[in-house]
A = this chain, B = another copy of it.
Amino acid sequence: MTLAYPFEDVRTQIKSASLAEVMDRLGVRMNFAKDEEIYAQEEDADLIYRVVSGVVRTMRLLSDGRRQVGDFYQAGDLFGLEVGALHRYSAEALCDCAIQVVKRSSLRAQADEGELDRAIWEATCRDLERAQDHILLLGRKTACEKVASFLMDLAQQGPNEAIDLPMGRQDIADYLGLTIETVSRMLTQLQGSQVVEFASCRQFRVRRWDVLERLAA
């Protein structure tokens, strides 16, 4: 919680630097165990969250238990920026997580107003763009295309890297609107056709980026 910067540096960075630093200064670091709830659906939304380490999923439940995962948030991502007063999705730690949490009001009082607004705006826009892609995927893609799109999204870093899958099959299925069995079958199929290669069920490499891209539609 203590800043290691010389006094002068701190002052200049408060004005110009990223929201992350202000959040570090004003907020609280909280640790969440795997599957622990960070906030609930319909809960008041007056906090802002930033992933420090780990991965977070947002999700929504239908009354009979059907689950839809909204998105996954990785280190550095802001989440929980609902517009209305209430959270429309709940958020859970996908694995053990460290989350920086800060009250929106205290941020607004202390941070550079423009900087804060811009960061929230950018995070909201990112959410919207991803939601729009997600809608196309859920509405009009086949199971194979969904899985291929999902792997591409994870592997954006490049085709030759080994990519870790932080989430299990159930989370993937609930993100793609499929069952775990279908996800598993599609992964097996993609591996069988030499498009991707799984070292374990939580790590893969893309072998044929062009084919994967075509399959993702």
Contacts and interface: CB of A to CB of B under 8 A. Distances in A.
Contact of A136 (B62, B125, B140, B176): B62
Given A138-B138, A140-B68, A88 B124 contact: no
A120 to B, nearest CB: 9
A67 interface: yes
A6 to B, nearest CB: 28
A132 to B, nearest CB: 5
Contacts of A133: 88
A124 B70 CA distance: 17
Interface residues of A, number: 35
Contact of A84 (B63, B117, B129): B129
A209 to B, nearest CB: 17
22 contacts: A60-B132, A62-B136, A62-B140, A62-B141, A62-B217, A63-B217, A64-B217, A68-B136, A68-B139, A83-B122, A83-B125, A88-B133, A117-B117, A121-B121, A124-B128, A128-B128, A131-B131, A131-B132, A135-B135, A139-B174, A139-B176, A139-B177
Interface of A: 60, 62-64, 66-68, 70, 83-84, 88-89, 117, 121-122, 124-129, 131-136, 138-141, 174, 176-177, 217
